[in-house]
Amino acid sequence: MIKYDWIHVSLQQLLVAGPDFHIFLLIFPFSFWIIFRHCQRINCPTNSIDCQSSPLRITYHQLNFKTNIITPAQIFRIGPSPVYSGDNIVISIIKGNKEGYFSTRKLNSFTGAIYLQRKVGEPKEFLIDVEMKLLRQGTFTSFLSRIYVFITSSKM
């Protein structure tokens, strides 16, 4: 069994603490809300392949957007912190994108983004798992962001 330490962080704490977290969020000029929570692997025996190949951190996010959001829209950014010379990431959506609403894009060697690619015409919920693999000094470390995206009606 892989043990994780659960941590809850408010948006206020996230904005103040910034560089101490592996996840960066964008502030948008339109209506949205975020809940940020993560768990981190605390122990991993050296002989356990399953444990060592599991994500170091699993982070949970909830994002809310209106149906009138202009697409394509960058809705999420991810990257390591701090960043070191030679860092390189690979990001991918590994679950929850069967309908193809979302895509990933690498912005530079250490920052990736998630995009809402096409308009969602009615209220809808999504749960997408985004994996970031960080190559640092010849070693890959995996991070998982589980992102709940809620599209709500733009009509009041």
Domain boundaries, the chain: 4-152
Asked if the model's pLDDT at residue 5 lies above 50, the reply is no
Share of the chain above pLDDT 70, in %: 72
Q: Which pLDDT does position 156 carry in this prediction?
A: 63
User: 15: burial class by Cβ within 10 Å (0-12, 13-18, 19+)?
Assistant: exposed
Cis peptide before 82 (omega within 30 of 0): yes
pLDDT tens for each residue of 79-137:
998 899 999 999 999 999 999 999 999 999 999 999 999 999 999 999 999 999 999 99
CA distance 6 to 13: 16
- pTM given for the model: 0.73
Highest CATH level, class, for 4-152: mainly beta
Average pLDDT of 4-30?
37
